Amino acid sequence: MLKDFKAFVLRGNVLDLAVAVVLGVAFTAVITALVADLITPLIAAIFGSHDFSGLTFTINGSVFRYGAFLNAVISFVLVASALFFFVVQPANALIARSRREPTPDPTTKKCPECLSEIPIDARRCAFYTTQLS
């Protein structure tokens, strides 16, 4: 049973997942610090307040604390936008750059009849002996 557990833990999926969780937690700390220490004070400088948790309204004696919800929504939007602009966009650009089409070989051309590769200086195709222009 211990042998099976060891095989399970050392499988690639479990190790990849563990690394992803650890990196996710570390990345969450970085993004949270970015939002809390840089972006939220910028909002406070522009709008005058960055803590909306005190905003409430009362209906028939029930207090609705919509300020805390507003804080959570703003925090989510800021984290999502930071994640999009600092991780997703650069990753997409990197993937697009790596998927560029290979450049065609300038030393060969295609035969118009059989579409085989022939040297660029050839005057006839090796398979069909087609006269090339």
Q: Check which CATH number belongs to the domain holding 93 and give it.
A: 1.10.1200.120
What pLDDT shows up at residue 59?
92
What pLDDT shows up at residue 55?
79
Domain assignment of residue 128, given as a range = 104-133
pLDDT digits 0-9 by tens, 94-126: 888 888 776 766 788 888 778 888 888 877 777
Q: What is the secondary structure of the chain as a DSSP string?
A: -HHHHHHHHTSHHHHHHHHHHHHHHHHHHHHHHHIIIIIHHHHHHHHS-S--TT--EEETTEEE-HHHHHHHHHHHHHHHHHHIIIIIHHHHHHHHHHTPPPPPPTTEEE-TTT--EEETT-SB-TTT-PBP-
The segments of the chain whose pLDDT lies below 70 read: 9, 12, 49-51, 102, 104-105, 130, 132-133
What pLDDT shows up at residue 27?
79
The vertex-92 CA angle with 80 and 100, nearest 5°, equals 175
- The answer to whether residues 110 and 94 belong to one domain is no
- The answer to whether residues 7 and 56 belong to one domain is yes
- The answer to whether residues 113 and 91 belong to one domain is no
- The answer to whether residues 22 and 70 belong to one domain is yes
- The answer to whether residues 86 and 133 belong to one domain is no
- The answer to whether residues 116 and 88 belong to one domain is no
